[in-house]
Structure 1
Amino acid sequence: MSTRMRRRLAQLESERRGMLMGFLPAGFPEPDAFRAVAQAAFGAGLDALEVSMPGPAPELDGPLIQAAAERASAHLDGIPAALRLAASSRSEDADTIVALAYASTFAHIGPEAFFDELVAADIDAYLLPQHPMREQLALGERARARGIEPVLFLYLQEDLELLAASPIEEPVIYLQSADLRTGGAFNPEKAAERLAELAEALGERRYFVCVGFGVRGPEEVEALMATGANGAIIGTQLVRAADEGPDAVTALVDSVAPALVGRTLRGAEEVIR
């Protein structure tokens, strides 16, 4: 399966650098500004952008993201509008956008209809951070059959066995760094422990893992690259920068980029495992 996500992963492999993924609520701070800051992020080197659908952010997100989600939702009329706005925010066609859907999203739309909207808007990846792993995997198989890339949200140790047994080939994984809310303090030891547990559980299976929660800048990203991650996810800091404008977003991405370059990700022979 060839998607923007897969093509970007192949590019990263050839360049031997980690992926930088960001997060913004669709329409934050308001639609035109969202488009401007997203394009600034991509232009500065962001590899992928998670874009959350309209609606309240759950407790797993910190107060800054919850407030941003509330502000953003006031500007958009439903999921199709959010996805169209996200697609229009690409700096170039190859830019990867990941549609993030909370559990509340599916009070308004079913999974198949959501996939229909992803295809219609030309968004080829998604993330379901509140769905149990068993459901994520079942939906992931259905999505893959339609050419849509699932990003699997891993936060429970007991889910490792399910992930290891899944027929989904070369999964893309979002690993929660620790038991905290977005915007909390980063714990490099806990992140390294979780990366090691994932590597042990998946053994020789190929996979790609990005780590989020508490990742603020180059120091955290460098620690992750040194302990086996393929990429890092910056949410709260990107939301804060987006509220300031494109220049602040560009400065944030520029500050992180050097920490992603020239790293040996889980061995020179397997940047994407």
Structure 2
Amino acid sequence: MNRYQQTFERLKKEDKIAFIPFWMLGDPNPEASLEAVKTIAEQADILELGLPFSDPLADGPTIQAAVNRSLQAGMNTEKCLEQIMIIRADFPEKPIGLLVYLNLVLQYGINRFFTDCKKTGIDSILIPEMPVEEIKLVESAAQENQIDLVFLLSTNTPQDRRQKIYDHSGGFVYTVSKPSITGAKTDLSDDTLALVQELKSQTDLPICVGFGISTPEHIKALKKAGADGAIIGSELINIYQKEGLEALNDFALSCASST
């Protein structure tokens, strides 16, 4: 079993769901970013990390600001991969997913990118603007390097596309709580919770929900609905920016305690 399978199997036995924090690599600067990632990783079941890109179409204002800080601090793909290698050394058993925009992969070179991702210990890659219909662009490189591909799925995803996502996904299905950009919100819609239950009836892949998940109460609601994981990004960044590292650790701990 790979790291994702081992993690979800363990959580199932413990009657828990995965706490999956997201962080933009290099935010607010390389040194502080590593410190923040290591802090949330202590509480995380799975890590989701982002590569900064100048035009992050799927991201709301909080993560766009994080991207800007990272780029202004001089981060690029090579430096991000170096950071992931350090994180992997500290957390050898924890699954690490990468969110990266297609332009960065193409600029780096598809085969080289996936090869270097394997060297750094990345378990999955999500390319948010790449539909599953275009998977042939990267599928062979992913398979050769034993890296799972993760795709976004929402209430608007038609059934035929859902099936393609199930057929080509590894790790988990990234379920979008709202068909829009990322960002914290106050409550989860009944549609989101119903979607989780619907997807659970269609696939054995773990169902993890992101985009707008921002409180321990959201995590509890997702668990009750049958989700396998909760992905939180914007709220972590907001708390760190406003209150610092100790508050970030406290919030991550409260999230982990709600699974």
Give the structure-2-normalised TM-score. 0.87
Instruction: Name the counterpart of 1:42.
Output: 41
* CA displacement at 1:35 relative to structure 2: 1.0
Q: Is the 8 A contact 1:55 1:105 kept in 2?
A: yes
Judge conservation of contact 1:18–1:225 (CA < 8 Å) in 2. yes
Q: How does 1:120-139 map to 2 (within 5 A)?
A: 120-136=119-135, 139=138
Decide whether the 8 Å contact of 2:123 with 2:147 is kept in 1. Answer: yes
5+ residue gaps, structure 2, are: none
The corresponding residue for 1:5 is 4
Unaligned runs of 5+ in 1: 261-273
Aligned residue type for 2:150: V
**Separation (CA, whole Å) in 2 of partners of 1:181 and 1:64:** 10
- Give the stretch that moved more between structures: 226-235 or 237-246: 237-246
Amino acid at match of 1:196: Q
Residue 176, structure 1, aligned to residue 176, structure 2: yes
CA distance in 2, matches of 1:98, 1:257: 18
The answer on whether the counterparts of 1:152 and 1:171 sit within 8 Å (CA) in structure 2 is no
Equivalent in the alignment of 2:251: 252
Distance in 2 (CA, whole Å) between partners of 1:138 and 1:155 is 23
Matches within 5 A, 1:187-202: 187-200=188-201, 202=202
Distance verdict in 2 for CA 1:36–1:127, change over 3 Å: same
Cα distance 1:259–1:182, how it changes in 2: closer, same or farther (>3 A)? Answer: same
8 A contact 2:5–2:171 mirrored in 1:
no
- In the alignment, structure 1 residue 80 sits paired with structure 2 residue 81: no
Q: Structure 1 residues 219, 158: CA separation in 2 closer, same or farther (over 3 Å shift)?
A: closer
**Counterpart amino acid of 1:68?**
A
CA deviation after TM superposition for structure 1 residue 131, in Å: 0.9
1:97 matches 2:60: no
Residue 63 of structure 2: aligned partner: 65
1:24-49 superposed Cα distances (whole Å, 9 cap, x missing partner): 11111111111111111122x21122
Give the SS at the match of 1:251.
helix
Q: Is the 8 A contact 1:50 1:100 kept in 2?
A: yes
Q: Which residue of 2 aligns with 1:215?
A: 213
For residues 204 and 234 of structure 2, the distance between their equivalents in structure 1, rounded to whole angstroms, comes to 30
Displacement of 1:50: 1.6
Question: Any conservation in 1 of the 2:151–2:169 contact (CA below 8 Å)?
Answer: no
* Structure 1 pair 132–167 and aligned structure 2 pair: CA distance change class (3 A): closer
Matched residues, percent identical?
26
Q: Judging changes above 3 Å, is the alpha-carbon distance between structure 1 residues 107 and 139 closer, same or farther for their aligned structure 2 residues?
A: closer
* CA–CA distance in structure 2, aligned partners of residues 136 and 240 of structure 1: 33
Match of 1:53 in 2: 51
Q: Per the alignment, do residues 188 and 158 of structure 1 end up closer, same or farther by CA in structure 2, a change over 3 Å counting? A: closer
Shift of 1:139: 3.7
Residue correspondences, number: 255
TM-fit CA distance, 1:14: 2.3
Deviation of the 1:136 alpha carbon: 4.2
Counterpart AA for 1:66: Q
The alpha-carbon deviation at position 107 of structure 1 amounts to 4.4
Q: Relative to 1, partners in 2 of residues 1:123 and 1:65: Cα closer, same or farther, differing over 3 Å?
A: same
TM-score normalized with structure 1 length: 0.83
Match of 1:206 in 2: 204
SS at match of 1:259: coil
- Alignment partner, residue 113 of structure 2: 114
Q: CA RMSD in A?
A: 2.3
Counterpart-to-counterpart distance in 1, 2:134 and 2:179: 21
Which residue identity does 2:98 align to in structure 1?
A
